[in-house]
Structure 1
Amino acid sequence: MDSLYIFLILIAGIVLILVFFLRSKWVVKINYQFPEMDNMQISVFFYNWCVLKQKNLRISSQKEMEKGYIHFYKLLREKKLHLLKELRFQALLKEIKVLELKWSTKGGTGNAFSTSITSGTIWALKGWLIGYLTQQLDFCKSPQIHVQPDFQNSSLQTRFSCMISFRLGKTILGIMRVLKIKEVKK
């Protein structure tokens, strides 16, 4: 009889730990600077405990990224990769809270006219992207975006900092819904 109580207490303890872990709040902080860094810094926090501190992830070279995009596009075009019509990204994205988003860009082409056109285009793209993200994600603070034209030099610098939080259990369920990608055989 005592072994049954110990077994039930053990099962209840495992279930409580699992529920605590799945309901836990995780925070991910991402920093990227171009051209100063060739990698992205990521820090992961479990409640207030730092689980992973500034893990440097190598950013792929331009050619590697282009190969990946071209391969994915070929699969879509040849209808070898079939994405379900409703991937439910919105359900997954609604579970993510953006605590902070800062994105600043400074650059120019060396020519005042083309620099102003480029700066306006960057503003438009950033505005469109932030507008889309504010519809899809829950922002705790207003995103801070900035574009500074450099009329004298031909250069590009960008800084991106983002902090998001999510509940692990809801994210796992959302990912399971999203990952309904099937290979279509001809």
Structure 2
Amino acid sequence: MNSLYIMLIFIAVSVLIIIFLFRSKWIIKVNYQFPEMDDMQISVFFYKWCVLRQKKLRIPDQNEMEKGYVHFYKHLSRKQLHLLKQLQLRSLLKELKILEFKWQTKGGTGDAFSTSIASGAIWAIKGWLIGYLTQHLQLFEKPQIHVQPDFQSSSLETSFSCMISFRLGKTILGIMRVLKIKEVK
């Protein structure tokens, strides 16, 4: 009889811990600066407690990125990435909340004409990205983007900071919806 009570208490505590973890709020903070840092810094918070501080992820160099793009293009040309069309990423994106988004860029080509064209292209890319994020995610703060052309020298500097919040249980359900593959009739 005593072991039955211990087993019931263990099951009840286990269920409560699982419910707590699935309802828990997680925050991921990403920082990157170019050319000062070669690594991306990521911090993970569980509610307000820091679980992982500034884990550095190495950014691949130009040759590694080109190899990745070539590998992706080969699979795309062979139509081996047909599952990407069936993935429903919108259901997963709806579960994410952006608490902070800052992206500042400063640079130039050394020539005023090409610097102005490059600055306009960067504004267009950032504007498209902010529009996409606004449409598919919940933004809690107005995104801060800035492009400063440098007409005098040839340089590029960028600073990126983002905080994303999500609930673990809802994200797991979103991932399950994304991985659900429709049967082809």
Give the direction of change, closer, same or farther, for the CA distance of 1:131–1:33 in structure 2 (3 Å limit). same
For 1:162, the equivalent position in structure 2 comes to 162
Aligned with 1:85: secondary structure? helix
Q: Does 1:3 align with 2:3?
A: yes
For 2:95, the equivalent position in structure 1 comes to 95
Alignment TM-score, normalising by the size of structure 1: 0.93
How far off its partner does 1:155 sit? 0.3
Aligned with 2:127: secondary structure? helix
Q: Percent identity?
A: 75
Root mean square deviation of aligned Cα: 1.3
What letter corresponds to residue 28 of structure 1 in structure 2?
Answer: I
How far off its partner does 1:77 sit? 1.4
Structure 2 counterparts to residues 21-32 of structure 1, below 5 A:
21-32=21-32
How far off its partner does 1:137 sit? 0.6
How far off its partner does 1:180 sit? 5.2
Is 1:84–1:180's contact at 8 Å kept on the other side of the alignment? no
Q: Which runs of 5+ in 1 are unaligned?
A: 182-186
Aligned with 1:133: secondary structure? helix
Alignment TM-score, normalising by the size of structure 2: 0.94
Give the direction of change, closer, same or farther, for the CA distance of 1:79–1:133 in structure 2 (3 Å limit). same
**In 1, Cα distance between equivalents of 2:166 and 2:96:** 5
Show CA shifts across 1:91-123 (max 9, x none).
100100000000000000000111011101110
**In 1, Cα distance between equivalents of 2:34 and 2:172:** 32
Structure 1 runs, 4 residues or longer, greater than 6 Å off:
none
How far off its partner does 1:5 sit? 1.5
Aligned with 1:105: secondary structure? strand
**In 1, Cα distance between equivalents of 2:81 and 2:109:** 39
How far off its partner does 1:127 sit? 0.3
What letter corresponds to residue 41 of structure 1 in structure 2?
Answer: Q
Q: Which runs of 5+ in 2 are unaligned?
A: none
Q: Does 1:36 align with 2:36?
A: yes
How far off its partner does 1:81 sit? 2.9
Is 2:91–2:178's contact at 8 Å kept on the other side of the alignment? no
**How many correspondences in the alignment?**
181
Structure 2 counterparts to residues 128-147 of structure 1, below 5 A:
128-147=128-147
**In 2, Cα distance between equivalents of 1:102 and 1:95:** 21
**In 2, Cα distance between equivalents of 1:17 and 1:52:** 21
Is 1:32–1:40's contact at 8 Å kept on the other side of the alignment? yes
**In 2, Cα distance between equivalents of 1:133 and 1:66:** 27
